[in-house]
Amino acid sequence: MSKVVKFGGSSLASAEQFRKVGDIIRGDSGRRYVVPSAPGKRFPKDTKVTDMLYACYDLAEAEEDFGEELKAIAARFQEIIDGLGIDISLEEEFSMIRKNFTQKSGSNYAASRGEYLNGIIMAAYLGYEFIDAAQVIFFDKQGNFDAEKTEKVLSARLAECQCAVIPGFYGAMPDGRVKTFSRGGSDVTGSIVAKAAKVDVYENWTDVSGFLIADPRIIDNPKGIDTITYRELRELSYMGATVLHEDAIFPVRQEGIPINIRNTNAPEDNGTWIVGSTCQKSKYVITGIAGKKGFCSVNIEKDMMNAEIGYGRKVLQAFEENDISFEHVPSGIDTITVYVHQDEFMHKEQKVVAGLHRLAKPDSIEIESDLALIAVVGRGMKSTRGTAGRIFSALAHGNVNVKMIDQGSSELNIIIGVANEDFETAIKAIYDIFVLTKL
């Protein structure tokens, strides 16, 4: 079974972590393609190498002295090389980086050097071939990922080698300049490499044993998720559950390649499987709960709204004209409510209200702030009676006032609006009823 293995920054922050990674890779000959991040934090107050590179480059850009900062970055890599006892020198690489920084080669180039150098170390440590991502991963003139060109060049290149290290996070523009994905983008590289190499599994190694049913900052020791579908994951990540970069799903999804999230510090754990579809039922009817605070609701009332064709469009146009995206739009016969992000909406509030009066001529508009949205997600809900009933009786027992209910038409999720201050209580109540309470 062939695999792409991607390791996050904390898995590669020190020589000790590199050793664990080496053991994992050597433990399975299918682990042929390795995608490393830059060294992350060794301890909570530490700085990620990527952040050091950005800060160092800012000095270069301002034509200030960046010698000390670059030295500190070189020291992070040297510590790993010495700790592993491998015989390589990054001296030439660093003089090139210094020269390019002085010539203002751009912050994308600067940030990418963390993955690039870690890739060189990893390849030397494993005895794998090193493939510079700038030679095989491409962006178009507008800076969008060029899937077609990448697939062509990368798959041909990978076919030539048995085992290789391809640094994460960056690629090249048509003129050869380095460009990065957004932060956390090595996850995306891993997925692109998995697609091009047509492997059986994309293993994504990090510092947690996969996805948890709920946020551990709210629930003590929440249970893990064994299997989750891409669609469920989209719903949960959108609502704030973060382990994997959002865009990492798409390349492997097209090929039906599963992603397995694993823990470098607990390799014996099975982690979470992310799959296209599965006949495996989730243990608890629901797969996960996630949510976010900081929403506003704009409630619009007008008599006979139901008879006025195009009313919804006029309402939404007032938001669109102000460049505000909406989250949910529950409606009644004579009412429609638009949920928006408070921070986006706040300073445009009166413009939107004026727009609503001009376009939709409502009888009244009422705005409520400090609301939270909670998504209860689960492929099992469709075929299970009483899921909504259980959620709302749990919330009633928890003394939580429900302000909005929206069941997605795919029956994959139920979205609940509550006051910000009820957010944690609501999540605890839902977790309790599904995970801790025996039926």
**Please, are residues 349 and 387 in contact by the beta-carbon 8 Å criterion?**
no
Work out the angle at residue 340's Cα, subtended by the Cα atoms of residues 334 and 343, and round it to the nearest 5 degrees. Answer: 145
Supply the minimum distance, in Å, between the C-beta of residue 40 and ligand ASP: 7
Number of residues lying near ligand ASP (CB under 6 A) = 13
Tokens of 413: 């999720």
**Please, are residues 247 and 147 in contact by the beta-carbon 8 Å criterion?**
no
**Contact with ligand ASP (CB under 6 A): which of 11, 186, 191, 237?**
186
> Which residues, other chains included, contact 341 with Cβ-Cβ below 8 Å and sequence gap of 6+?
294, 295, 296, 324, 325, 327
127-135, 177-185, 281-289, 340-348 -> range binding ligand ASP (CB under 6 A): 177-185
Is position 184 an interface residue for ligand ASP (rule: CB under 6 A)? Answer: yes
Given the complex with ligand ASP, which of 3 and 48 has the nearer CB atom? 48
Alpha-carbon radius of gyration of the chain: 25
Alpha-carbon span 335 to 111, nearest angstrom: 49
Supply the minimum distance, in Å, between the C-beta of residue 205 and ligand ASP: 12
Is position 37 an interface residue for ligand ASP (rule: CB under 6 A)? Answer: yes
Question: CA separation (Å) from 178 to 100, 105, 275, 429?
Answer: 12, 9, 32, 48
Q: For the window 96-115, what string marks contact with ligand ASP as x by the rule CB under 6 A?
A: ------------------x-
Supply the minimum distance, in Å, between the C-beta of residue 12 and ligand ASP: 9
Given the complex with ligand ASP, which of 41 and 292 has the nearer CB atom? 41
Sheet hosting strand 413-419, strand order edge to edge: 326-328, 335-341, 288-301, 364-377, 413-419, 404-407
Given the complex with ligand ASP, which of 38 and 391 has the nearer CB atom? 38
Q: What is the dihedral of CA 388, 389, 393, 398, to 10 degrees?
A: -10
Work out the angle at residue 271's Cα, subtended by the Cα atoms of residues 252 and 204, and round it to the nearest 5 degrees. Answer: 40
Is position 119 an interface residue for ligand ASP (rule: CB under 6 A)? Answer: no
Is position 36 an interface residue for ligand ASP (rule: CB under 6 A)? Answer: no
Is position 38 an interface residue for ligand ASP (rule: CB under 6 A)? Answer: yes
**Contact with ligand ASP (CB under 6 A): which of 32, 48, 179, 428?**
48
Chain centroid, CA 427 distance in Å: 21
Supply the minimum distance, in Å, between the C-beta of residue 190 and ligand ASP: 9
Given the complex with ligand ASP, which of 6 and 32 has the nearer CB atom? 6
Alpha-carbon span 166 to 160, nearest angstrom: 14
**Contact with ligand ASP (CB under 6 A): which of 24, 145, 166, 168?**
168
**Contact with ligand ASP (CB under 6 A): which of 50, 206, 229, 337?**
50
140-148, 181-189, 216-224, 332-340 -> range binding ligand ASP (CB under 6 A): 181-189
**Please, are residues 78 and 90 in contact by the beta-carbon 8 Å criterion?**
yes
Is position 9 an interface residue for ligand ASP (rule: CB under 6 A)? Answer: yes
Which residues of this chain interact with ligand ASP, rule CB under 6 A? 9, 37-38, 48, 50, 114, 168-169, 183-187
